[in-house]
Structure 1
Amino acid sequence: MSRVTPATRALTAAGVAFTVHAYDYDPDAESIGLQAASALGEDPARVLKTLMAQVDGKPVCVVVPSDREVSMKKLAAAMAGKSAQMMKPPEAERVTGYKVGGISPFGQRKPVRTVIERSALAHDMVYLNGGQRGLQVRLKPADARGVLNAVVADVLA
């Protein structure tokens, strides 16, 4: 497995301190984020999942704890939109340039608006997908927010 991905290149270019952590990815896991947290021996609240949604038809990246779900109503409100829905996997792969299970908020094919769940900022360090299945990056949540120019909002269901 390569530890250099568009995500790690984007973080390096931004001058953000991070570490890379590989784990055994289970494609049959019921929840990819929870499986990553378990494999890393981490609290699921600190292992953030990257979801792709649409708000009023425009792509949005949503970063939330792996053990929680997104409220579409709160997501739409956070983006000053009327409606939100999850993006279909083939569309998410096309927009991001990553495969489902390896979608990172960093280094996507083209930048999209990003929302990070407010509670994620309470941790000293968090894990986010590193741009391929079985690869996570560990960094300060404030650094993630800054690199992504993310909106911070309560978007949990």
Structure 2
Amino acid sequence: MKLNKLGLPEKETLALATDLNVLLANFQVYYQNLRGLHWNIRGKRFFDLHLKFEELYNDSQLKIDLIAERILTLGQTPLHTFEDYVKNSKLPIGKNIHNDEEAINLILNSLSHLLRIERVILSQASEIADEGTNSMMSDFISEQEKTIWMMSAWLEESI
């Protein structure tokens, strides 16, 4: 088994970086959806949601950078074109969403999808003792699970 400069198996690390690029693409679509929600939300909950969406897209922007830097650390190139993001993302595009519940449901569905990708990456990273990727995924998962809980609680209140 050939190891890279980090002491990780080259073949498995390449597969891991490929999946991190898929996560990166999905996060970029999630980020852009959040920007659109921030700009287009309407209604009585505008002030609260406008700020919340800004908080979420700022957090996503940080995560996007962390993912890209991890891909580089693993010796690969992060995707960096809109064409690549759309091609590699499975997230729905949130176009012209003005309604609060529709916006929150888009976020919930997106986070659930991101979690599925992250759990696969977490498992792959664990198998090759890639603690850097493992730690990053664990942090992302914990934060996103909490956001899902909070958004779900918000939806229950609004029904």
Identify whether the pair has TM-score above 0.5, normalized to the shorter chain: no
Structure (1 or 2) with the greater strand fraction: 1
TM-score between the two structures when normalised by the length of structure 2: 0.29
TM-score between the two structures when normalised by the length of structure 1: 0.29
Structure (1 or 2) with the greater helix fraction: 2
Instruction: Please tell me whether Structure 1 or Structure 2 has the larger radius of gyration of its CA atoms.
Output: 2
